C-alpha cells in the first residue's frame, strides 16, 4: 500500500538513513534521475548529486540530521536535459530515544511555477513602465493646455473674457491634481476616499 500511494504522487519521495544512503524512493524519483530502484538503493546521495551538487545541499542535510525540519529551493542544471527548479523539504525521522534515524526527503519540481512567476513579473514591469509613460504624457498635456490658456489670457484686456479663461484653467489644474494623487497612490484598488477628498478639497481651494 505504501508503494502504491508513493508511486502515484507527482513528487520525488525518498528516505535516507543517518549515513545519507538511500533506503526508499518512489517511482517519480527513479524517473527523474533516469535510474532503476536497484541502481539507487543503498547508494550515497553524493552518487547522484555529484561532488559539487552535494556540497550545495550538505548544509541543509546537516541541519536536518541535527533534528531540524528544512525547506529550500534550488536550481538544477543538467548536461543532458533542461535546467529545473525544485523545492525540497527534509523531515527528520527520530528513534524512540530522540536521535535522528534517517531523513524523509520530498522534492517538488516547481519549474513551471517559477517560469510563470517570471513571466508575471516581466509583464508587471512592462505595465509599470507603460503607466509611467502615460502619466508623464497626461501631465505634460495638462501643462500645455494650461500654458496656452495663460498665454491667451495675457492678450486680453476684458475682465469678463479673462474670467472665462480662468475657469477652464482651474478645472484643468483640478484634473491634474486628481491625476497626480491617483498616480501616487500605492493601491488603486482601495483608496481612503474620505481622506482623499479632504486633501483634494484643501488643495483645490488654494487655487
| 176-203: pLDDT as tens digits | 877 777 777 766 666 666 766 776 676 6
103 pLDDT higher than 70: yes
User: Which pLDDT score, from 0 to 100, does residue 206 have?
Assistant: 62
Residues of the chain with CATH 3.30.450.20: 2-109
DSSP 52-85: HHHHHHHHHHHHHHTT--EEEEEEE--SSS--EE
Q: Classify domain 2-109 by CATH architecture.
A: 2-Layer Sandwich (3.30)
Per-residue pLDDT averaged across 110-133, rounded?
86
Q: Helix axis angle, 159-184 relative to 193-205, nearest 10°?
A: 150
**Sign of the C-alpha dihedral, residues 153, 159, 164, 170?**
positive
User: Which pLDDT score, from 0 to 100, does residue 31 have?
Assistant: 85
**Sign of the C-alpha dihedral, residues 170, 171, 172, 177?**
positive
Tens-place pLDDT, residues 38-81: 888 999 998 877 788 788 889 999 999 999 999 998 887 765 56
Per-residue pLDDT averaged across 16-21, rounded?
95
Per-residue pLDDT averaged across 85-103, rounded?
94
3-state secondary structure string across 141-156: HHHHHHHHHHHHHHCC
Rounded to an integer, what is the distance from CA 206 to the centroid of its chain?
43
User: Which pLDDT score, from 0 to 100, does residue 23 have?
Assistant: 95
* Residue 38 per-residue DSSP state: H
Kind of pairing between the strands at 22-25 and 12-17:
antiparallel
pTM above 0.75, yes or no: no
95 pLDDT higher than 70: yes
37 pLDDT higher than 60: yes
d(CA 13, CA 201): 62
Which cell numbers hold the place of 100? 535522528
99 pLDDT higher than 90: yes
82 pLDDT higher than 70: yes
Per-residue pLDDT averaged across 88-114, rounded?
93
Amino acid at each position: 500500500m505504501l508503494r502504491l500511494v508513493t508511486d502515484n504522487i507527482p513528487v520525488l519521495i525518498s528516505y535516507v538513513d543517518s549515513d545519507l544512503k538511500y533506503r526508499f524512493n518512489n517511482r517519480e524519483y527513479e524517473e527523474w534521475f533516469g535510474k532503476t530502484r536497484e541502481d539507487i538503493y543503498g547508494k550515497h546521495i553524493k552518487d547522484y548529486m555529484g561532488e559539487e551538487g552535494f556540497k550545495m545541499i550538505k548544509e541543509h542535510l546537516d541541519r536536518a540530521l541535527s533534528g531540524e525540519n528544512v525547506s529550500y529551493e534550488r536550481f538544477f542544471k543538467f548536461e543532458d536535459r533542461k535546467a529545473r527548479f525544485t523545492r525540497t523539504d527534509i523531515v527528520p525521522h527520530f528513534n524512540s530515544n530522540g536521535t535522528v534515524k534517517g531523513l524523509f526527503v520530498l522534492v517538488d519540481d516547481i519549474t513551471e511555477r517559477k517560469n510563470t512567476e517570471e513571466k508575471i513579473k516581466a509583464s508587471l514591469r512592462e505595465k509599470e513602465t507603460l503607466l509611467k509613460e502615460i502619466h508623464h504624457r497626461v501631465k505634460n498635456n495638462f501643462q500645455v493646455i494650461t500654458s496656452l490658456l495663460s498665454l491667451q489670457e495675457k492678450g486680453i484686456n476684458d475682465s469678463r473674457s479673462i474670467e472665462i479663461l480662468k475657469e477652464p484653467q482651474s478645472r484643468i489644474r483640478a484634473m491634474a491634481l486628481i491625476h497626480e494623487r491617483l498616480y501616487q497612490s500605492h493601491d488603486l484598488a482601495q483608496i481612503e476616499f474620505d481622506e482623499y477628498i479632504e486633501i483634494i478639497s484643501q488643495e483645490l481651494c488654494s487655487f
